[in-house]
Structure 1
């Protein structure tokens, strides 16, 4: 990991949060991993305390093979019927919508019990009741997501893979930071406290948290929105 990589990975969020004190000097590259971890810990703590929220799921937006728990923060995908392939993504959207006027929002999702799933945001008008890939999160121009598939993680938008990391062991929780006014969407790995990818985009319509799951025989097949206090 280089000094330049560590600096660039933190710059988008630092600028959004107006924290000029979080800068790197011209120190030894050997110190960069610890510097990045320390800065990442500080930033994630600040995000959680200042902008943390715990979105709920909109049960009316889910497909029949998704089971929404009573807490409205946990969703499980069930084995599909013969008419729908288990290879298709099942989506559910959040209840709260975010606008430029909403301000900054940060939430976390526990994906440790899902073999394959994706989390992110979508325009609330995104078609998501179909089974074709054009309705999948990250596969159209109306959604931005991070996908976990076993030990591989990807960031997707418009069907384009913008980030990929294989053998990402221990990837159990993802942090999502949204600042519509600053046109910023960031995904964080909470285990390593690092920024995985940031989008700079002019979000022209209301956004909602979005979640997609695939069924697997070998996994518990559910994810949970973390309740931040």
Structure 2
């Protein structure tokens, strides 16, 4: 009886792991659908007259089509499908009843073997979930920060993988690409095709901004467009005063989360023209933007913020995979 209970428990644990994985995967799909719907709504607003012409053409086409499927045929089809579904459910119940560990009468040796196998299966399932983590991490790219773009109060590490605020204004060349008001720095590399994923460690920080940007983001002066997400050139998530906000085009989207994350992921999909921010600990999506098509290459962009009397002194660190530095594409 004890072994049987252990086997049942392993199956329940597998079920819990798979249910959580399903929840995370569906959350990604829901977020992407919302982003795509938002992008479509914007596109429809910008192209109202074109949509009206398309609707008129579709209406004309509908009138010209022959109605080859009658209501009776449809009901017959649905009735047949319902009958087939009932038969499938009946067969499924039979299979489930036969596969129920409680209903199996085993000798002790065989029971021990099954328990061992279920332990192996549980470990395998746990190691492979969430599935979305495996998928997104397969697109991990190496990114290094460009010190020639960093605000003079930011210190970029020699390895180029972190940025830290300093109270000292460093005497650096006033290059055209250097931010002189906002505490920003962008990556040396840029991408314009494919799928790319980056993770940033924000452990212990009380304020930060991170995201992606076109190379055309303004670098000089106090204009709001220099801030990440405040213009049409960049997309970001901001953490400030315990609250998270997604920004693009100067429009804030307040996120209904309160957890203080240790790692934030950025998934950039040039195929779909989308960028998704997510909690890298469990791969739950925070917010997605869908542009359809990006008009330029994208750099990773960071703002570690002021130290706030020592409460925000830690750096933002890019968690690069161990691989050679990539070329821009």
The TM-score with structure 1 as length reference comes to: 0.76
In the alignment, the residues of structure 1 paired with residue 298 and residue 25 of structure 2 have an alpha-carbon distance, to the nearest angstrom, of: 29
Structure ranking higher in strand proportion? 1
Q: Distance in 2 between matches of 1:156 and 1:226?
A: 23
**Shift of residue 38, structure 1, vs aligned partner:** 10
| SS across alignment from 2:135 | helix
Residue 9 of structure 1 pairs with residue 28 of structure 2:
yes
- Among 210, 215, 218, the alignment partner of 2:301 is 210
Runs of 4+ in 1 over 4 A off after TM superposition: 3-6, 11-14, 37-40
- The residue aligned with 1:58 is 146
Tell me the distance in 1 between the aligned counterparts of 2:24 and 2:139: 26
- The SS at the match of 2:259 is coil
* Among candidates 306, 312, 316, match of residue 223 of structure 1: 316
Q: Aligned residue for 2:80?
A: none
Per-residue CA deviations over 1:68-111 (Å, capped at 9, x if unaligned) read: 01110010011266xxxxxx7400001111113xx111110001
Q: Provide the residue aligned with 1:157 in structure 2.
A: 248
Distance in 2, matches of 1:138 and 1:80, equals 26
Whole-Å separation in 1 of the counterparts to 2:134 and 2:25:
18
- Is 1:118 paired with 2:118? no
Following the alignment from structure 1 to structure 2, what is the Cα–Cα distance between the partners of residues 67 and 4? 40
Q: 1:106 maps to which residue? A: 197
Structure number, greater radius of gyration = 2
Tell me which residue corresponds to 2:120: none
Q: Structure 1 residues 181 and 209 mapped into 2: Cα distance closer, same or farther (>3 Å)?
A: same
Query: Quick one: which of 260, 265, 277 aligns to 1:187?
Result: 277
Higher RCO (C-alpha under 8 Å, 6+ residues apart) = 1
Select which of 173, 176, 182 maps to 2:263.
173
Task: Supply the distance in 2 between the matched residues of 1:110 and 1:136 (Cα, whole angstroms).
Answer: 21
TM-score (norm 2): 0.54
Deviation at 1:13, TM superposition (A): 6.1
- Aligned-CA RMSD value: 2.7
Shift of 1:40: 7.4
How far apart are residue 195 of structure 1 and its match?
A: 0.7
- Between the aligned partners of 1:194 and 1:40, the Cα distance in structure 2 is 13
The answer on whether the counterparts of 2:151 and 2:182 sit within 8 Å (CA) in structure 1 is no
Q: Which 10-residue stretch deviates more, 195-204 or 128-137?
A: 128-137
- Consecutive unaligned residues of structure 2, counting only runs of 5 or more, are 1-21, 34-125, 170-180, 323-329
CA contact (8 A) 2:27 2:285 kept: no
Within 1, Cα distance between the matches of 2:188 and 2:317?
15
Determine the C-alpha separation between the residues in 1 that align with 2:196 and 2:25. 24
Q: Where does residue 47 of structure 1 map in the other structure?
A: 136
* 8 Å contact kept, 2:25–2:132: no
